[in-house]
Amino acid sequence: MSKAMKFEIYRTSDCCIENPPCEGARLVRAGSAIHSAVYEIEIETLEQLLELMQAVESPIIIMGNYDEPTIEIYDDYRE
């Protein structure tokens, strides 16, 4: 039995995180004037990760470490 990994997830194009970044993402913390909203997604397998990439039709960037992994849906340019 595999254990799902939880990732924070956001879109490059939505810097204020006003909308869910993709299907399956759930709101963990609502946004405020100071902090952005935080969405999370659970991924159990490499196949699910590849399906996510195909579903969002953009490259994804995985950052962070094992304790705080983050997925960025790279759908816009940033420096």
Q: What is the pLDDT of residue 72?
A: 92
**25-67 pLDDT per residue, tens:** 999 988 766 567 889 999 999 999 999 999 999 999 999 877 8
Q: Measure the CA angle with vertex 50, ends 66 and 39; round to 5°.
A: 55
Specify the pLDDT at position 34. 58
The pLDDT score that the predictor gives to residue 13 is 87
Scored b (16 or more CB within 10 A) or e, 34-66 reads: eeebbbbbebeeeebbeebeeebebebeeeeee
How much is the pLDDT for 18?
A: 75
Output the pLDDT for position 71.
Answer: 93
